[in-house]
Amino acid sequence: MHASVADRIKDLKAQIMRLEGFKSATGTWPDTSTRAFPWRSFPLGAVHEFLCGDRVDVSPTAGFIAGLLSHLYSKQGVILWISASRRLFPPALAAFGLRPECVIFLDAARERDVTWAMEEALKCPALSAVVGEIRDLDFTASRRLQLAVERSCVTGFVIRKNLSTINTTACVSRWRITSLPGATDDDMPGVGFPVWKIELLRMRNGQPGCWVVRWMNEEFVEEQLHVAATAGPERKAI
Amino acid sequence: MAARYVSIWFRYLKTDWCSLDKPQLKEVPFVLRSPSHGRMVIVAANENARAKGIRIGDVLADARALVPGLEVLDDMPEVWDKLLRRLAEWCIRFTPVVAVDPPDGLLLDATGCAHLWGGEEKYIAAINRGLSNKGYDVRVGMAETPLVAWGVARYGVNPLVPAGENTNALLALPVEALRLEFEITDRLRRLGLHKVRQFISMPRTSLRRRFGAEFLRQLDLALGRESVPLEPVMPVEPYREQLPCLEPVLTVAGIEIALRELLDRLCTRLEKEQKGLRTAVFKGYRVDGKWMQVEISTSKATRNREHVFKLFALRFSSLEPGMGIELFILEAPKVEPYSAQQERMWDASGGLEDVRLAELIDRLANHVGATRIKRYLPDEHYWPERSIKLAQSLQEKPTTTWPSQKPRPLQLLDPPERIEVTAPIPDYPPMLFRYNGKLHHVARADGPERIEREWWIEKGRHRDYYCVEDDEGYRYWLFRLGHYDDEKASEWFMHGFFA
């Protein structure tokens, strides 16, 4: 009896998630971190928020999103990248497993066009994902984005560039990606593979966490050593 | 400004047209024939034939007896209207208002046009020359009223009637210049009235009694006391639908209904012809004589009514109905072949060929501007700024592969920003650099990667690129312009940020 009630609740929870637009994805995300996500899979059909202060920080964030998308979607998927101050250089996306010709850029003239275009794009099921570099996103706007994806199941990524106006939003998660010194094997000279500290600050129905991940051979590889060394104390500080 | 009209008379319109294909016909007597009351009658004769005494309306057998070796072709009545219309469209280069004047003439409203050609003589000469080059023998008349221009072209001596000389010119013309019915002209002639000046001062009542009201009307037209509006030839807009309204439309709801109706008609036609529109213009003509329009364009041929409607709806705010709109016109100036089969294949297939994606792009483009939406393809250049090119359409495929051997930064600064750098010895990566007022210590570095400037495109110095990582773990793409120089400090630039 007790077990069946728990099952019912689990079932109902699953139904609610479906109604909220969640899709389960089968990505090659590092195993240890999947428990951070509801159902141990990255939620698609939702809006994710990335905090990104310095303009230099946009690069690791963009790289992480690109790497994520290359695992979550087929190569044919079209991505719309909306920004009012874009510096993204398309050929570099190829290194993160995306096909740069499948990325459409919208360089808006005004900040308010970004939010409008993002909402409009999130309603279009022909897209795989929409990335928007948004300065200020108020709660109402984020709620509108969330409602748009619930109908179309497109995944939205909001890159917040103005950390001074961070507020409560309706986004399903909040991330911060920062660069760490690159990884080289056997003390080879040079810069090596990019290493990022991935902080999951909030995840609806999931568990926040912090990982250090290396991007190598078009895959995320978790760096065990760094987690203890660098990520541990930082996590408490947040 | 005084009104000016030009009448063009094609003296041998039909035979000239036939001679365009067969130039040898110009040299010989040549006529067109048509059956009439059981016999063959001549309907057109060229200059050569007329010189030999052949008149229009003669029986062909008589003409053959008169001129042995006469060339004869069948008349093509369906051609002449189209031909005149085409010539009228060609003449739109001289003035925007050109009307067809059957059977063998054109009428141009040249008010305020002649000065563009440097005067009226030159204007007439340009028309003459243009049509002669096309192979037509024309005579041109210019006057203040259409009828005098017509008369001057056909019966006048001097083709140009200067402004203010209209009545004087009319006086010298023969009675035929009034374009009256044959009976009236004949009666005038029999009464000994050969020139207009002989009867112009007669009392109007007696003129009406003897020659009828039509005669007086023609006289008034010639003198400019009355006028007939021209029916200008418009360049045909092949995909054009119009909707006149019984009552002026004032509300957005009304405009929407009109647009839906017009779209339905246009799209039905496009479906029949397997076409799709790329641009469309929706015009509203207002009661007060003003008109306004909204334009949309699509990235791919479409005839999806709902989609085109949505594109227009985004622009409705710029329509001002004013006192009300009485006529709606929808045009599609640019259409492309588009078959229904493609639609089915592409629908919901995902990827760049998805119809829904094209529709989204149209909506965005009509809001933020089409030039702000970009898609890039690889280009075969090593120079970073030139290594990508803009795709022309959503369907365009890359012609070459994306370069993947050398690392490229995810963010590229355009243009590169000047930085201060401390580098140990030539060709070593920098130790320190200052960027945006902050000092960065370089922990690790890759490079240099020399990229030469493409000398066939532009001149300048090469760049030596270094990928450096500072002690915080951020990676930058720096370059030094040109070679090391002992005398001058090298110029270093920040060009991008790696992930």
Query: Going from the N-terminus, what domains does chain B have, and what CATH number goes with each?
Result: 5-155 (3.40.1170.60), 166-223 (no CATH), 240-342 (3.30.1490.100), 411-497 (no CATH)
- Alpha-carbon gap, residue B145 to B196, rounded angstroms: 16
The mean-pLDDT minimum among A32-46, B230-244, B295-309, B344-358 falls in B344-358
Q: What is the mean pLDDT of residues B89-102?
A: 87
Q: What pLDDT, on a 0 to 100 scale, did the predictor assign at position A228?
A: 41
Q: What are the boundaries of each domain within chain A?
A: 21-237
Chain A residues touching B410 at Cβ < 8 A = 58-59, 62-63, 66, 88-89, 92-93
Q: Where does residue B310 rank: exposed (0-12), middle (13-18), buried (19+ CB within 10 A)?
A: middle
Tens of pLDDT, residue by residue over A86-130, are 889 999 999 888 889 889 999 999 888 999 999 999 998 888 899
Q: What pLDDT, on a 0 to 100 scale, did the predictor assign at position B7?
A: 93
Q: What pLDDT, on a 0 to 100 scale, did the predictor assign at position A20?
A: 63
Q: What is the mean pLDDT of residues B34-47?
A: 89
Residues in chain A, total:
238
Higher per-residue confidence, B20 vs A2: B20
- Closest of B221, B202, B201 to residue B210, by C-alpha: B202
The percentage of chain B sitting over the pLDDT mark of 70, rounded to a whole number, equals: 97
pLDDT at B407 over 80: yes
**At residue A86, what are phi and psi to the nearest 5 degrees?**
-85, 140
Chain B residues touching A100 at Cβ < 8 A = 376, 378, 388, 402
Instruction: Return the bridge partners of A78, or none.
Output: none
Tens of pLDDT, residue by residue over A197-207, are 888 898 888 88
Q: Which residue on chain A is closest to B377 by alpha carbon?
A: A101
Q: What pLDDT, on a 0 to 100 scale, did the predictor assign at position B5?
A: 92
CB-nearest partner of A125 from B356, B388, B469: B356
Q: What pLDDT, on a 0 to 100 scale, did the predictor assign at position B241?
A: 85
Cβ contact A94–B402 (<8 Å): yes
Q: What pLDDT, on a 0 to 100 scale, did the predictor assign at position B471?
A: 86
- Average pLDDT for chain A: 81
pLDDT at A227 over 50: no
Chain A residues touching B360 at Cβ < 8 A = 120-121, 124, 126-127
Higher per-residue confidence, B124 vs B322: B124
- Cβ–Cβ under 8 Å, residues A222 and A32: yes
Q: What pLDDT, on a 0 to 100 scale, did the predictor assign at position A238?
A: 36
- Alpha-carbon gap, residue B312 to B279, rounded angstroms: 11
Return the number of CB contacts < 8 Å for A and B.
Answer: 172
Q: What is the mean pLDDT of residues A36-47?
A: 77
- Closest of B313, B334, B328, B353 to residue B270, by C-alpha: B334
The CATH number that domain A21-237 falls under is 3.40.50.300
Q: What is the mean pLDDT of residues B224-233?
A: 81
Tens of pLDDT, residue by residue over B110-168, are 888 888 888 899 999 999 999 999 889 999 999 999 999 999 999 988 888 888 888 88
Which H or E run includes A47? strand A47-51
Token pair listed for B453: 């400037």
Helix, coil or strand: residue A4 = helix
ipTM of the assembly?
A: 0.82
- Average pLDDT for chain B: 86
Token pair listed for B191: 């009464």
Chain B residues touching A129 at Cβ < 8 A = none
B260: left (phi over 0), alpha (psi -120 to 50) or beta: alpha
Rg over alpha carbons for chain A, rounded to the nearest Å, is: 18
Q: Which residue on chain A is closest to B405 by alpha carbon?
A: A95
pLDDT grade, residue B486 (50/70/90)?
A: confident
- Alpha-carbon gap, residue B239 to B216, rounded angstroms: 43
Cβ contact B408–A89 (<8 Å): yes
Identity of residue B299: S
Q: What pLDDT, on a 0 to 100 scale, did the predictor assign at position A103?
A: 92
Token pair listed for B73: 């072709």
